[in-house]
Chain A
Amino acid sequence: MAGMSRYILLFLWLLQGTLVLADEPFRTFTTAKGQSFTARLLSYEGQTFYLEGKDTKLYPVPYNQLSTADQVYLRKAAEELRIPIGDPRKISAEETMEDTPEPEPTEVSGSMEMDDEPRLMAPKKAKPKLRPGSFFSYRPVNLGQDPNLAVDLKSGGAPKPGEPIDFTSHVLPILEDRCTSCHNEPYEKNGRTIQPKAGLALNTYELVMKGNLDDTVVTAGDVEGSYLHEVLTLDEDDDMFMPPKGGPLTPEQIDIIKRWIGEGAKPKGGGAGVADASEGVSFHDHIFPILEERCFDCHGEPYVRSGRTIHPKAGLALDSYEAVLKGNLDGAIIDRGDHEESTLYVVITLDPDDSEIMPPKGDPLSPEEIELFKKWIDEGAKEYPSDVFEKPKEEKATVALTSVADRNVPLVDLLGKRLTKPSKTQIEAASKTGALVTTLSEKHSMIRAEFSEGPSLIDNNSVGALASVQNNISHLDLSRTKVTDSVMGNVRKMKNLTWLGLRNTEITDQAVKQLTDMQFLRYLNLSGTKVSDRAVNDLSKMKDLEEIYLWNSKVSEKGIESLRKALPDAKVIF
């Protein structure tokens, strides 16, 4: 009977492979360098797409070697699941292999002498990714077993709130999915022994803890000191970033590994289990489960729905310890050691009729839960039970921007820290009307937008395209463009603007009037504009301005004099 159902499954799988994944048509592809050729798309694996030429030859092509239009096509094909994953040469073989027992590996006679007998087992092939909700994504469960538990054990599903991490059911599936294709125990292939990359195998608990010749990769209880965690969280461009292919681990996966190390990197889950709250409240053991249950619907990580990115409400994510401490644009929500000053605590303890109460739907948090939050904040908002909370210094963790000058941190850096780096798509959208849009440095989240080419073609409408990154713009250069006063409607939306160049434009006093409440503006270039003495009053209100350029404008010497008097610390160039 079991054998029967296996064949039905196999049949269905093949059916899906042939019916759902219809052949892609032939089309012309162009490489980034301008070469073009005709081919049709077969499949993809990681960043490599497999194209079949008219001559039926197979061409593996790296994604970034193709023109932008082709990349869009490929991305779409992959996103809409029109093409399968994997090398087409292997896919056909794999399909027939599906669910049939792996042939017993045979010992190769006369093999070299080795200290370690190679376990003759090749790394597991990546499983085909199934569409969520697909029939095949459901797994059979034995009668009498808790279905959720069974699925978790088999697939390495997310640990339940508050549940300690188990190596075998939570960590190992991640390693097997993403790491062991390179970091596999030595095995024989075509008569040669394949050693794990970097001498590091990650197939079992013992191997993970053993590390390699350099060092161990996991230090129990010390997340920061564990190399395994470090390489997963490096910058993606970093040479040591892991996994090197197929994109980074998901935040949940990294979180599982982090928690596993933090809990002491034990072979069997649990051990002590969740510590009692009376011995100290930690984010990991007590707070996260509550957040997960009550807050994630609105304050989870950003996700894509119908092609649009849905950001967490109020720009506040609560899906990780770092995110909770970071807060949002309005500032931090946790004041370590002081629950009354912590916005998070305030909003969950409001009157149930208050429109601001969180969570807005369902019952308010229970008194026990609220007590946990209070205790957690007062104890210093620790992440793990073992963390030691240091008393905050006199200076508060969140610094009001007015004290920036004393602290000698450039304003743009401070503003940048409160925002996330804009995505490539956002920057592309902002550049549509001819603007050169770049981040201030590689990792900075603030943006400089300028119209460097053909400024005479740039008008008010061109500035509108910058809306997609308006919060991130710190420098805006509209010099020599055809913008007029009404452009200020868009400029005013750039709340974090510090540097504004309006040199040699048709801007008048009306525009200056609209700038008076731009609180972070420090540099204002109005040279060669029609700004006159009537703007001096408005300029005088902007006490934080550091540099004002009015050379060649309509402002008189008298106007400059009164402006210099009103803003004694600013550099007024006339």
Chain B
Amino acid sequence: MKSDLKNLDELSRREFVASAAKACLGVGLLPMAGSYIHTPAQAFQPGPRPAKARHLIYLYMSAGMSHMDTFAPNTDADKDSYQGPISPIPTSADGVFLSENLPETAKHMHNAAIIRTMMTSQGAHAQGTYLMHTSYQMRGTISHPTFGSWVAKMSGPINSTIPMNIAINGRIGSSGFLESKYGPLPIGNPNAGLANSKAADYLDQTRFDGRLAMAQKMNASFLGTYDQKQVRAYTDLYNDAVKLMRSEDLKAFDVASEPDSMKDLYGRTAFGQGCLLARRLVENKVRYIEVNRGGWDTHSNNFESVANNCADLDKGLSALLLDLEMRGLLQDTMIVLVSEFGRTPRINGGNGRDHWPYGFSAFLAGGGVKGGTVYGKMDKIGRNPVDGKFIDPASLNATIGYNMGLPLSDVQYSPSGRPFKVAHDGEPLMDVLNT
């Protein structure tokens, strides 16, 4: 356990401490649940265009995934100082090559597109992650909503019982200045399901109802005296939480009910099971699911660490693509895999790669994505695009938002009255989308 913890990058370590505090201090989900749950009043709103994808599974490779060893092997580059020992392999799409670390994913390339000229202005983890998730640079004066929160806010729930923005394996960012109910609901461990959402074993239905009734009785006089919105909201919160507890949709979180063969297909790791949970949530029509995977900060010993990480990534990602396609859900679901930045094409002294915000890769698959496409090509040192233009995080988010039919030009105002948009001023990259 201790050694595992060391392997985590800084961000995940911090998340771990936060989760530990949550567990030890008894800050559970249930008292919070109400704020995530939506009343039918905010029903699903269609966007300005028909949505090509209605669900988004956002696979976030925390801490900077080495693009040259995964989605952008550079065949022209010198092996010793740039490409290293990893060779490219052909994929199911003609003329598209992936690294040999991703043999299973390569079989699904006909459903996927890669942007190889991603560029970010931030070379540090926290700032890069923030920019990638919010489309805005980190500022001391404001907290921007994550893309998932925007999705939740702008299109409303398809399923009103389950929260529609869920973060598996740790939560990054928040709903910012938007209402907190749109923020990500964290699931620390995909196998554990939704924490604190079950009544204790000794509480049977009648006793539970009895306790609720008692609580209501005790509150009655207070409610009578102070019949105000905030006071009633607190009661609603209980009702919503109970609604979720008893809902059959709660089973969506129960990965344990999947057959063993399915669990093995995804791989019995936090990421693999996270992908499996993501698929279950898509079946229950959750709009935005983020699965986080850390451990990519390979400043030293890059090739071994990346190969280890990829074994897990390849299994989970390919299983997700396969499973969604078999169920006919891939057409409606967009899968995006990205990191805050790439890693230096030049190999450093410790056989590792350092942070590289120029020219890294984003992987897009599923509904609305033009399968088998590669956008852009970097020169051999990865400094400038040889083909295509730089795509910044805002434009990546605009591309996703366009595909999901979100109103990109719609302006929301922060409490201080400043205007913000779902993907800042990003322009959707139509080259990777089916129009």
Interface residues of chain A, those whose CB is within 8 Å of chain B, are 32-35, 410, 412-413, 436, 438-444, 450, 452-456, 479-480, 501, 503, 523, 525, 527-528, 547, 549, 551-552, 573
Partner of B249, one of A412, A439, A453, A549: A453
Q: Is the interface of B mostly helix, strand, loop or mixed?
A: loop
B158 to chain A, nearest CB (A): 5
Nearest CB to that of B52 among chain A residues?
Answer: A410
User: Are the CB atoms of A438 and B160 closer together than 8 Å?
Assistant: no
User: Are the CB atoms of A441 and B331 closer together than 8 Å?
Assistant: no
Number of contacting residues on B, CB 8 A? 28
Nearest CB to that of B161 among chain A residues?
Answer: A453
Chain A residues, Cβ within 8 Å of B28: none
User: Are the CB atoms of B46 and A453 closer together than 8 Å?
Assistant: no
User: Are the CB atoms of B43 and A436 closer together than 8 Å?
Assistant: yes
Q: Can you list the 6 inter-chain pairs with the closest CB atoms, starting with the nearest?
A: A549-B328, A525-B328, A440-B50, A551-B326, A452-B159, A452-B285
A330 to B405, CA, bound (A): 30
Q: Using an 8 Å CB-CB cutoff, how does the interface string of B134-170 with A read, 1 for contact, 0 for none?
A: 0000000000000000000000001111000000000
Interface residues of chain B, those whose CB is within 8 Å of chain A, are 41, 43-51, 158-161, 229, 232, 247-249, 283-285, 325-328, 331, 405
Some 23 contacts from A to B, beta carbons below 8 A apart, are: A33-B229, A34-B229, A412-B50, A436-B43, A436-B44, A438-B43, A438-B44, A441-B47, A441-B51, A442-B47, A442-B48, A450-B158, A453-B161, A453-B247, A454-B247, A456-B248, A501-B328, A523-B331, A527-B326, A527-B327, A527-B328, A547-B328, A549-B326
Given contacts A34-B229, A34-B232, contact A450 B48 (CB under 8 A): no
B366 to chain A, nearest CB (A): 14
A104 to B284, CA, bound (A): 70
Nearest CB to that of B405 among chain A residues?
Answer: A441
Most A CB within 10 A of own CB, among B46, B50, B285: B50
A444 to B44, CA, bound (A): 15
Chain A residues, Cβ within 8 Å of B45: 438
User: Are the CB atoms of B49 and A441 closer together than 8 Å?
Assistant: yes
B148 to chain A, nearest CB (A): 18
User: Are the CB atoms of A441 and B50 closer together than 8 Å?
Assistant: yes
Chain A residues, Cβ within 8 Å of B158: 436, 450, 452
Chain B residues, Cβ within 8 Å of A34: 229, 232
Nearest CB to that of B43 among chain A residues?
Answer: A436
A443 to B50, CA, bound (A): 9
Given contact pairs A438-B44, A503-B328, A573-B325, enumerate 11 new A-B contacts (beta carbons under 8 Å): A33-B229, A34-B232, A413-B50, A436-B44, A436-B158, A440-B50, A441-B46, A453-B160, A453-B249, A503-B327, A551-B327
A413 to B46, CA, bound (A): 15
User: Are the CB atoms of B49 and A547 closer together than 8 Å?
Assistant: no
Chain A residues, Cβ within 8 Å of B48: 441-443
Nearest CB to that of B286 among chain A residues?
Answer: A452
Chain B residues, Cβ within 8 Å of A455: 248
Given contacts A35-B229, A523-B331, contact A573 B326 (CB under 8 A): yes
Chain A residues, Cβ within 8 Å of B161: 453-454
A554 to B63, CA, bound (A): 45
Chain B residues, Cβ within 8 Å of A454: 161, 247-249
B385 to chain A, nearest CB (A): 29
User: Are the CB atoms of A573 and B249 closer together than 8 Å?
Assistant: no
A285 to B248, CA, bound (A): 64
A410 to B229, CA, bound (A): 46
B95 to chain A, nearest CB (A): 22
Nearest CB to that of B330 among chain A residues?
Answer: A573
A528 to B327, CA, bound (A): 8
Nearest CB to that of A479 among chain B residues?
Answer: B283
Nearest CB to that of A412 among chain B residues?
Answer: B50
Given contacts A32-B41, A34-B232, contact A547 B46 (CB under 8 A): no
A429 to B132, CA, bound (A): 42
A92 to B3, CA, bound (A): 83
Chain A residues, Cβ within 8 Å of B44: 436, 438
A334 to B361, CA, bound (A): 54
Nearest CB to that of B236 among chain A residues?
Answer: A34
Partner of B46, one of A438, A480, A501, A551: A438
A440 to B331, CA, bound (A): 15
Nearest CB to that of B157 among chain A residues?
Answer: A452
Chain B residues, Cβ within 8 Å of A552: 326
User: Are the CB atoms of A453 and B159 closer together than 8 Å?
Assistant: yes
A501 to B285, CA, bound (A): 13
Chain A residues, Cβ within 8 Å of B43: 436, 438
Nearest CB to that of A34 among chain B residues?
Answer: B232
Given contacts A441-B405, A450-B158, contact A573 B50 (CB under 8 A): no
Chain B residues, Cβ within 8 Å of A442: 46-48
Chain B residues, Cβ within 8 Å of A413: 50
Nearest CB to that of A410 among chain B residues?
Answer: B50
User: Are the CB atoms of B327 and A444 closer together than 8 Å?
Assistant: no
Chain A residues, Cβ within 8 Å of B232: 34
A230 to B181, CA, bound (A): 40
Nearest CB to that of A68 among chain B residues?
Answer: B41
Chain A residues, Cβ within 8 Å of B283: 479-480
B14 to chain A, nearest CB (A): 35
Chain B residues, Cβ within 8 Å of A501: 328
A413 to B52, CA, bound (A): 13
User: Are the CB atoms of A444 and B50 closer together than 8 Å?
Assistant: yes
Chain A residues, Cβ within 8 Å of B47: 441-442
Chain A residues, Cβ within 8 Å of B46: 438-442, 444
User: Are the CB atoms of B331 and A547 closer together than 8 Å?
Assistant: yes
B380 to chain A, nearest CB (A): 38
User: Are the CB atoms of B328 and A573 closer together than 8 Å?
Assistant: yes
A34 to B234, CA, bound (A): 13
A329 to B405, CA, bound (A): 27
A547 to B169, CA, bound (A): 34
A544 to chain B, nearest CB (A): 17
A278 to chain B, nearest CB (A): 48
A456 to B232, CA, bound (A): 31
A523 to B329, CA, bound (A): 11
Chain B residues, Cβ within 8 Å of A412: 50
A442 to B45, CA, bound (A): 8
A262 to B30, CA, bound (A): 65
A523 to chain B, nearest CB (A): 7
